[in-house]
Structures are given as structure tokens and as C-alpha cells.
Amino acid sequence: MKNLIQIAGVIDKEEAKMLMDAGTDYLGFPLRLPVNKEDLTEDEAVEIIKTIKPPHSSVLITYLSIAGEIIAFCDLLNVKIVQLHGKIAKEELAKIKNRRPDIEIIKSLVVAKDNYDLLIDMVGSLSPYVDAFITDTFDPVTGAEGATGKTHDWSVSKKIVEISLKPVIIAGGLNPSNVKDAILEINPAGVDVHTGVEDKKGRKDFKMVKSFIEEARKGFAQMANP
């Protein structure tokens, strides 16, 4: 996982095609959410995911915390990458890896006020059971853990990148105007965006998507050759 660009919140087949044509690597499908409303139904997601072919990949983004439920949902959608945003015991992560080593696990690290020590502990304890981490932002107003459209303290993400043995993707309030700066400051393995490339109607804007990808690629190139 290197120089990865993920765009989450796919609405329909047309939007999925546009994202792939623009050069998106991972297309994220947030489903079974405790706070935010889903962008589409599970049946709709199944049909869209059928259209996503390599080198692009589909990602289930969910807050499920039981290994059996997570595996069953991945199988229902026919995805092999799952991004887990809820609290989940390392024993459940181990069960997923033992039962289905073909499923790639990305575990969120949600940056909130004064939880730095907790996040560092999570990196150490969960690393054996995940393939990557993704940092995101906690919204104290809504209680949302991710998909807040808000940035967090990038120095926390930078420290996580420095100590993690697994790749780290960054998310939280990224958009075309700040993604390059975020990459150069944090040195992540990838970036993720959702609302930062959407228009007022909640659809992905092609120009914003292209700009985000172009700026991210510039950032990754400069990161590799400072």
C-alpha cells in the first residue's frame, strides 16, 4: 500500500465510473452506520461493486465489531477490503484473520481531544491483526467517528506514521486545497476523502475529484523526492 487514494461515499454506478476514470484507487462504501445516514442501500452497493474492476478496489466501511458479522457482510457485498471504524476487540480482529486471511483489514484511529496515548496504545496492540490504519476525526457535537468533514491535529497522525509498522492512511477534512500539505507534513501511505470533493447536493464533483487526485499525486511525488 503506497500512494493510495481512496474516495468514500459512492452513490451510484455513474459516480463509481467517474471516480475510476479519474484515477481513484479505492472506492469506499460506508454501510451500517451508527450516526451518519448511508448514501445508498446494501442492494445498490452490491450492484455497483460488481462494476469495480482492478486496478480499482471496493472497500466496505462499517462500524460492525463482531468477526462473523463482518465476514458475512464482506461476502454479501463481495469485497475483500474492510475499513472498521467502531470499537472492536483484538480477539475479533484475530478471528477475521484466522478465518479469512484474504480479507484486508484497515482499522481506524479516530483522533479526539486528549486521546493521543490511547491511539498510540492501539497502534501497538492491534498491529498484528490489521493490514493498515486510517486516522480520522472525532466530532464531539454529533458523536461521529469519521466522515465529519473536519480536520484534526496532523501532528498526531504524523507521530502514528512514524511509529506504526503498518501503512497509515489519513482522512478527516481533506480537500483539493489541503491534501498536498497534509501529505508533505504527515508522510502517509495514502489519503482518503469523502465530503471534501462533493458539491452542495452531496454528489462527487468531477473537477474537485480530479484536483484532489492531482494534488495528492504531487504531494506523494514530492514526499518521495524532497
Could you read off the pLDDT tens digit of each residue along the chain, which spans 226 residues? 899 999 999 999 999 999 999 999 999 999 998 766 788 999 999 999 999 999 999 999 999 999 999 999 999 999 999 999 889 999 999 999 999 999 999 999 988 888 899 999 999 999 999 999 999 876 655 556 656 667 778 899 999 999 999 999 999 899 999 999 999 999 999 999 999 999 998 899 999 999 999 999 999 999 988 7
CA distance 168 to 183: 11
Q: Which of 183, 187, 168 is nearest to 213 (CA)?
A: 183
Architecture of domain 4-224: Alpha-Beta Barrel (3.20)
Are 207 and 186 within 8 A, CB to CB?
A: no
Q: Which of 195, 153, 162, 143 is nearest to 28 (CA)?
A: 195
Angstrom CA distances, 178 to 83, 104, 169, 193, stand at 23, 28, 15, 11
CA distance 99 to 158: 33
Counting Cα atoms < 13 Å in the Cβ hemisphere of 105 gives 28
3-state secondary structure 120-156: HHHHHHHHHHCCEEEEEEECCCCCCECCCCCCCCHHH
Give the residue extent of every domain in the chain.
4-224
Cβ count within 10 A of residue 225: 6
**Sign (positive or negative) of CA dihedral 164, 142, 201, 85:** positive
Q: Which of 67, 72, 78 is nearest to 29 (CA)?
A: 78
How much is the pTM?
Answer: 0.93
Greatest extent of the chain over all pairs of C-alpha atoms, in Å: 45
Q: Which of 222, 202, 214, 183 is nearest to 37 (CA)?
A: 202
Cis amide prior to 34 (ω within 30 degrees): no
